[in-house]
Amino acid sequence: MVHTRFLLAFLLVVVAVATAEKRYDGYGLYRVQQSFQARRFLSNIKGLDWWSRPGPLDTPGDVMVPKDKRLAFEGTLKTRRIRYTLLSDDVQMLINAEKERQSDAIARKGKSDSRITFDRYYSHDEMNAYLDEVASKYPDIAKVESVGKSYEGRELKGITLSSGGSGKPLVFVDAGIHAREWIAPAVALYLIQELTEGSAQDLLKDVDWVILPEVNPDGYEYTRSEDRMWRKTRSKTSSEDCLGVDPNRNFDFHWMESGASSDPCDEIFAGDKAFSESEARALRDYVLANAKNAKAYLTLHSYGQYLLYPWGYDESLPDDWRDLDDLGNAMNDAIKAVRGTEYTVGSSGQALYPAAGASDDWSKGVAGVKYVYTVELPGGGFYGFDLPASEIKPVVEETLQGLRVVGQKVAGM
Ligand SMILES: [Zn+2]
C-alpha cells in the first residue's frame, strides 16, 4: 500500500515535470477604461500584462493580472474610479478552450491536401516549407533567402516577390515579432499566396513585395508548446529567472526613451543595448538591404485594430504625417468595406502611448521608408489572444484589401 502510494506520487511528479507548460489558473483578464491614466496608477503593480495596448481618452485596454495581484489591481482602479470589466476570471480556461479549437482544426486538416489552408495556425517549420514551396512553384517571381538565425538557431526566411525589372517601388512586410500574436504571420502567408496565385497577382505588376512572415520563431514555437502568452525572444538575460527581450523595443532609434523597461522580467524589456537581439538585427539588415526602393513598411501585430504610423517614441509627428494619415484612412476604408471591421488610425505616440525602440520608428527614422505602419490586427476578445482558427480566413481576407491600397499607392512612386 505504502509502495503504491509512493509510486503514485512519483508518477504524478513525473507527469507534472513532463507537462511543465506555464499555467494561468486564476489569472484575471480585465478590460480597463481610461487605460492610459490607469496604466500610470498601476505601474507599481508588477506582472501586469497588457494584451491590447491601452490608448488615451476612453480607449479601453485589456490586461492580464496574476491571481495574487488581482486584489491590489482592483483596489487601485476602484480608488481612482476607473471603470473596468472582468472579461475572464481564469485565463487558463481561455487557453484550454483555444487549444481545443486548435486541435479540432488540426484534426480537420488531416483530411485535406497539403496546400496551405488558413483554417489553423502553422508551425515555423511549416511556414518555411511553404515559402520554399512557393519559390519552387513560381521560380520566375519568387526568391526565398535566409536572412539570419534566431537565438536558438532557427532560420529566418524571407521571400521577395517580383515580376521582374529593376528599381520598382517595394513594399516590405513583416510579422510575428511578438510571439503570441499568431494571426500576424497568417496574414503575411496569405499575402504571399494571393500575390503569387490568387486575387492580388495584379499588385505584382508595378510593385515588388518583400515579406518576412515570422521574425521571432523561438518565441512563436514557445507559445505553441510551453507558454501561450509569451511575447519576447528567448535569449538569456542578466536575470536567471527571466529570459527574452521585447524585440520591438530593441531597435536603435530613441532606444529606451519611453514605454520600455530595463528590467529583464518585464514584457517590454528593451534589452541591455539596442540590437542585442539577433532577430532584430536580421530584420534591420533585411530592411536596409531593400531600403533603396522601399516605399512602405508594414509590421503586423495583434490585437486592438489600430493602424499606427510614427512617431511612437513620443507624441510628435513626422513632417509628412498627413500623407501617412491619408493612406491609413484609405486602408481602413478598404478593410471596413469587406465586413465592417474598423480600425483606429493615428500616430503610435498619440493614438496609444509612447513606446520607443520599435521597428516602425526605426524604419522611417533610420531606413528612410516613407509609408510606415504598425497594423494591430483583430484579436480574439473572449476567445483568447487570437481568433479561433475558423476566423483566420475572414481576417486575412479583409486585411488583404488594406494591403492592396498600400500597393496601389506606392505603384506610382
Ligand atoms: Zn505586438
Q: What is the pLDDT of residues 57-95, one digit of tens each?
A: 667 888 999 999 999 999 999 998 888 999 999 999 989
DSSP 121: P
Quick one: pLDDT at residue 107?
63
Contacts of 63-70 with CB under 8 Å at 24 or more apart are: 63/29, 63/30, 63/32, 63/35, 64/24, 64/27, 64/28, 64/29, 64/30, 64/91, 64/229, 65/27, 65/28, 65/29, 65/30, 66/27, 67/25, 67/26, 67/27, 67/28, 69/45, 70/28
Quick one: pLDDT at residue 230?
97
6 CA to middle of ligand 1, Å? 46
Q: What is the mean pLDDT of residues 274-285?
A: 98
Quick one: pLDDT at residue 385?
82
Q: Is 391 a catalytic residue?
A: no
Do you find a cis peptide bond into 311, omega within 30 degrees of 0? yes
Quick one: pLDDT at residue 98?
82
31 CA to middle of ligand 1, Å? 18
178 CA to middle of ligand 1, Å? 5
Q: Look at 2-11, 76-85, 90-99, 125-134 and tell me which has the smallest mean pLDDT.
A: 2-11
Quick one: pLDDT at residue 4?
55
Which amino acid appears at position 215 of this protein? V
Q: Which domains are present in the chain?
A: 21-89 (3.30.70.340), 98-411 (3.40.630.10)
Q: Is residue 16 scored above 70 in pLDDT?
A: no
Answer whether 294's CB lies under 8 Å from 171's CB: yes
Q: Look at 111-115, 224-228, 328-332, 407-411 and tell me which has the smallest mean pLDDT.
A: 111-115
Q: Is residue 9 scored above 80 in pLDDT?
A: no
Give a three-class secondary structure readout of 204-266.
HCCCEEEEECCCCHHHHHHHHHCCCCCCCCCCCCCCCCCCCCCHHHCCCCCCCCCCCECCCCC
Positive/negative CA dihedral, 189, 193, 198, 199: positive
DSSP codes of every residue in 385-404:
SS--GGGHHHHHHHHHHHHH
Q: Is residue 35 scored above 80 in pLDDT?
A: no
Angle made by CA atoms 59, 62, 68, in degrees to the nearest 5: 135
State pLDDT tens for residues 155-187. Answer: 999 999 999 999 999 999 999 999 999 999 999
307 CA to middle of ligand 1, Å? 12
- Alpha carbons 211 and 215: distance in angstroms, whole number: 10
Quick one: pLDDT at residue 2?
47
Residue scoring higher pLDDT (362 or 35)? 362
Quick one: pLDDT at residue 291?
98
189 CA to middle of ligand 1, Å? 17
Q: What is the mean pLDDT of residues 397-409?
A: 98
Q: Is residue 257 scored above 60 in pLDDT?
A: yes
Collect residues with CB below 5 Å from ion ligand 1: 178, 301
Average pLDDT, the chain: 91
C-alpha cell at 391: 476566423
Using 50, 70 and 90 to split pLDDT, how confident is the model at 56?
low
| Strand pairing report for 371-377 and 306-309 | antiparallel
**Percent above pLDDT 70 for the chain:** 90
Quick one: pLDDT at residue 329?
98
Answer whether 251's CB lies under 8 Å from 259's CB: no
Using 50, 70 and 90 to split pLDDT, how confident is the model at 131?
very high
C-alpha cell at 378: 483583430
Answer whether 29's CB lies under 8 Å from 48's CB: no
State pLDDT tens for residues 304-332. Answer: 999 999 999 999 999 999 999 999 999 99
Q: Is residue 112 scored above 50 in pLDDT?
A: no
378 CA to middle of ligand 1, Å? 12
Q: Is residue 8 scored above 60 in pLDDT?
A: no
Would you call 401 exposed, middle or buried from its count of C-beta atoms within 10 A (0-12, 13-18, 19+)?
middle
State pLDDT tens for residues 379-395. Answer: 876 667 888 888 899 99
* List 214, 376, 391, 398, catalytic entry: 376
- Alpha carbons 27 and 69: distance in angstroms, whole number: 9
- Alpha carbons 215 and 298: distance in angstroms, whole number: 13
